[in-house]
Amino acid sequence: MKRDRLRKLAGEKRFIPGIYNYCDRWCERCPQTARCLTFAVEEEDSDPEARDIRNEAFWKKMSGIFEETLELLKESAKEWGIDITTLDAANELRREKVKREAAENHLLCRAARSYSERVEDWLKKKEAFLFETAAASREGVDLDEAFEVIRWYQSFVCAKIMRAIRGAMEDKEEPCDEFPSDSDGSAKIALIAIDRSIAAWAVVQSYCGEEALGIIAFLDHLRQAVEKAFPKARSFIRPGFDSVDLNT
């Protein structure tokens, strides 16, 4: 997409600023696509060939986005009076690495990663079997949807908890009470993903009895630990979702 078109699109009043920051990126199931700039940009660029990473068009598109981004970055830096050529990139990268490693090793992140691995193991062993028996034994029960939800959030939970932990570290380094905390927003969407995963596992459990209970219990512990670490997360207002009370 050309820069001018992007600017024009971004200026449209229908978009809710920052709505994509605390969503679950599941655009197919999102009730706010009409108000999301990210979705609008992706839709405008949705040439089927460009979506295929093996296709040359994809890489051309990536290269186009990169160049446009670099141009916008330079323009913005100039407006803010920053000379990006003098930024200490090596130091910044080192600091980023330290923060990333600290976040990755945080207990909550390790627990969320462990959840993702448990899901992988469990589904490898059971998914095909469950589909066969479910299809044979019950009609119209949306087991496939439950698996879809589990799969969607399987790694998402860990990614969002990691972002929340990193955000909390940065808040500690440079406290700022002016805005709602990004770490609370990230923790909130992680909690929503956990809630929905628990509900999806409950559907699976109705087919396999006790076997899914261990995972549900594990997720519930993780949910409680995240709530304890981020006590303001549940009350964080996500633009476009919580403010319009869509129960998402």
Query: Residues interacting with ligand SF4, by CB under 6 A?
Result: 19-20, 23, 25-27, 30, 32-33, 36, 38-39
Read off the tokens for 175. 């406290």
CB atoms within 10 A of CB 151: 16
> What is the rounded distance in angstroms from the CA atom of residue 133 to the CA atom of residue 207?
9
**Residues 134, 140, 143, 144: what is their CA dihedral angle, to the nearest 10 degrees?**
110
Question: Which lies closer to ligand SF4 via its Cβ, residue 109 or residue 192?
Answer: 192
To ligand SF4, the closest distance from the beta carbon of 24 in angstroms equals 6
In the complex, the smallest distance separating the C-beta of residue 237 from ligand SF4, rounded to whole angstroms, is 15
| Region label for 9, one of left (φ > 0), alpha (ψ between -120 and 50) or beta (otherwise) | alpha
Question: Please, which residue, 25 or 125, has the CB nearer to ligand SF4?
Answer: 25
Instruction: Supply the minimum distance, in Å, between the C-beta of residue 186 and ligand SF4.
Output: 14
Q: Output the smallest distance, CB 99 to ligand SF4, in A.
A: 25
Q: Which is nearer to ligand SF4, 30 or 159 (CB)?
A: 30
- Residue 32: what are its φ and ψ, rounded to 5°? -125, 25
Residue 30's contacts (CB-CB under 8 Å, 6 or more residues apart) are 23, 24, 36, 39
User: How near is the Cβ of 28 to ligand SF4 at its closest, in Å?
Assistant: 8
Indicate the residue among 1 and 123 with the shorter CB distance to ligand SF4.
1
Cβ distance to ligand SF4 smaller for residue 19 or 146: 19
Report the residue count for the chain. Answer: 248
8: burial class by Cβ within 10 Å (0-12, 13-18, 19+)? exposed
